[in-house]
Structure 1
Amino acid sequence: MKLNKLDNYDMKILGILTIDCRTPDRQIGKKVGLSGVSVKARITKMERAGIIQNFTMKVEPPSLGYGVIYLVVPSYDESDMIKKLKLVGEPFFVVPCLGDITACGIVVEKDVEQKTELVKNLISNARIILTLDPKESEFRADLTKTDFKILDQLLKNPREKIDSIAKSTKLSTKTITRTIEKFEANPAIQFTIIYDPRKLEKFIAFALLAMVQNDTRKVLKEIEAGFGDYFWQVPFTAKEMLVLFMYSDNIYNADIMHHKIKHTDGVAFTEVFFPKKITMPTEWISNSVKNASRSMKLHVPIEQ
């Protein structure tokens, strides 16, 4: 696929896949006005072009009993950054952005405040955006050992067919179907994609971080009413932080949207990030699966 052939249909397809990459091609087609065959062909071409880098799963760490530290670091050395993050916990995401800054998330076990101080000592120029203790989070997963077993299989291929998963796990298709429906209904678990922002060509993906003074959900509802058509993924909310994943056809329109959102009632501060690359490791999820497999209980207890 030539990058200049990327069009609005492709962007709509990508948007649906970021929200739920298990959405059937035919269902995507109904939403965007194409046949299922055409949708499948476009997805395949975007994979071959490297626009879609891989299909993956995103699980909010607090739902499995982990804390998260969100930070921004003036850095362009991704490998060095990951090494430093691993001294504190496990990388949740690492996103180098324009302007030689990197947005990061660190998954940590217990003592979030202590780990935050460790981050400050290790990375002196780190700017802590938010820390989230599992006890403060609304995210809950409530998983059984069977759920973890299926999650482990889905980490290998989030789009794997139910029959194939049943064969690999030796579980019934009914059990697989029920668990996947449980995952899809849970905002803490997402079937998604990793895409290459540099290959979107005439489209620009960006993340808008807003710190909110008033009711976060109320502010989000107001912003969504005006800019929902430009949402690229499901917005993320935690405490007073709101993160909007958006796209525009050019940098000037992106700036206009930022300016208007910045002046929305209840918004205290905003910052825009233009990603150059997205890395979202899942090792910490695999470790959770291993811990769950060692549990003697059918329903795995999660410490909050």
Structure 2
Amino acid sequence: MDKIDIRILSHLLNNCRKSDRQIGQEIGISGVAVKSRIQKMIENKIIEKFALKIEPPVLGYSVLYFVVTGKEINDIIQKIRLVGEPFFVVPCVGSITVCSIVVKEDPVKKMDLAKNLLHDVRVLSIFEAKNPEIRSDLTKTDIEIIDILLKDPRLKIEEIAKESGFSTKTIARSLEKLQNDEAIQFTLIYNPKNMDKFIPFAILVGVTDVKRTLTKLAKVFSESFLQNPFVHMNQIVLFMYTDNIYKMDDLSVKIHDIEGIHSVDLFMPKKITFLNKWVIEAIIQAKKSKKLHLMSEIHS
């Protein structure tokens, strides 16, 4: 990999529906060159698959995050499945695992149940993720299109039209809406171990004022962002990369010095897995709804 590959990867992580031509225009190379580099990253298993990541609250679920250490990942997944469906699982350097589960019932009760089940595991952190800024108003049409895009989020409008029976105009309108929805991300899954000299990492930042701090962080550190930050309540997750392990530590220290930040935790992923059984089941239920707009039903 080189710096151009990283920039292409970053664009795709933030929106994998961006065309090769558009990415090329933004980084200063041809669309043909972008396509060739993407294909090479797929062949080298840097890009494992393109994915549609949907935040569970959009479909009426809560999501609990866990940071645990000192246990086999399969054992952890087996235990948390008793509480809810896994959303994603990320084993990290240092025997740390970051994972999340999707739950339908009272998240506080589910959190207590999870703590009991993980009594023999060292739980570094457990919390319910919330982002009050997220607002979605999905229609039955959007749900149908999402169902198709789960298989391949880069499908062309004409291909979606053929499978769905909707007009290309209807699909284009829905896609624009979905791509502007903070709770729906057209992204990809990459393999950190295959990124040559580049080291991806995440920094979990505890803050006092999310909006103000996020603006400061973006202004100072955006050149090191691998993808857009993720926000929930009073925490920000920064997805970053470096070509030097010592720079990673320096970035962590500099972030800690930003006014309004009271905690910084660093994670180096070894593998990233999205699990979508929960979303398939949620879509089946949403399709059964008699309502055209699903917001009132989903959030009731």
TM-score range, shorter chain: over 0.9
Query: What is the TM-score normalised by the length of structure 2?
Result: 0.96
Query: 1:131 aligned to 2:128?
Result: yes
**1:283, distance to aligned residue in structure 2 (A):** 1.6
Identity %: 47
Choose which of 85, 90, 96 in structure 1 pairs with 2:91.
96
Choose which of 258, 265, 269 in structure 2 pairs with 1:264.
258
Q: Which amino acid aligns with 1:255?
A: D
Query: 1:105 aligned to 2:116?
Result: no
**1:64, distance to aligned residue in structure 2 (A):** 2.0
Q: Could you say what secondary structure the match of 2:263 adopts?
A: strand
Choose which of 198, 212, 215 in structure 1 pairs with 2:193.
198
Query: 1:227 aligned to 2:210?
Result: no
Aligned partners of 1:62 and 1:140 also within 8 Å: no
For 2:298, the equivalent position in structure 1 comes to 302
Q: Which amino acid aligns with 2:263?
A: F
CA distance in 2, matches of 1:235, 1:63: 19
Choose which of 22, 26, 29 in structure 1 pairs with 2:24.
29
Q: How many residues align?
A: 296
Q: Could you say what secondary structure the match of 2:206 adopts?
A: strand
Q: Could you say what secondary structure the match of 2:133 adopts?
A: coil
Q: Which amino acid aligns with 1:61?
A: P
Q: Which amino acid aligns with 2:248?
A: A
Q: Could you say what secondary structure the match of 2:227 adopts?
A: coil
Aligned partners of 1:94 and 1:104 also within 8 Å: yes
CA distance 1:75–1:156, change in 2 (3 Å): farther
Q: Which amino acid aligns with 2:287?
A: S
CA distance in 2, matches of 1:261, 1:157: 36
For 1:248, the equivalent position in structure 2 comes to 242
Query: 1:168 aligned to 2:168?
Result: no
Query: What is the TM-score normalised by the length of structure 1?
Result: 0.94
**1:75, distance to aligned residue in structure 2 (A):** 4.1
1:74-85 superposed matches below 5 A:
74-75=69-70, 77-85=72-80
Stretch moving more, 9-18 or 83-92: 83-92
Q: Which amino acid aligns with 1:242?
A: I
CA distance in 1, matches of 2:86, 2:154: 24
Gaps of 5+ in 2: none
CA distance in 2, matches of 1:193, 1:132: 21
**1:217, distance to aligned residue in structure 2 (A):** 1.0
Choose which of 164, 178, 181 in structure 1 pairs with 2:176.
181
CA distance in 2, matches of 1:22, 1:99: 34
CA distance in 1, matches of 2:70, 2:192: 18
**1:77, distance to aligned residue in structure 2 (A):** 2.5
Query: 1:45 aligned to 2:40?
Result: yes
Q: Alpha-carbon deviations, 1:50-108, whole Å to 9, x = none?
A: 00000001111122221111111114533222222211111111000000010011111
Aligned partners of 1:64 and 1:140 also within 8 Å: no
Q: Which amino acid aligns with 1:26?
A: R
CA distance in 2, matches of 1:128, 1:250: 28
Gaps of 5+ in 1: 1-5
Aligned partners of 1:64 and 1:141 also within 8 Å: no
Q: Could you say what secondary structure the match of 1:156 adopts?
A: coil
For 2:142, the equivalent position in structure 1 comes to 147
CA distance in 2, matches of 1:225, 1:144: 36
Q: Which amino acid aligns with 2:90?
A: V
Q: Could you say what secondary structure the match of 1:126 adopts?
A: strand
CA distance in 2, matches of 1:17, 1:59: 16
Q: Alpha-carbon deviations, 1:162-204, whole Å to 9, x = none?
A: 1011110111111111111000011111100000001111001
Q: Alpha-carbon deviations, 1:23-48, whole Å to 9, x = none?
A: 00000001111100010000001001
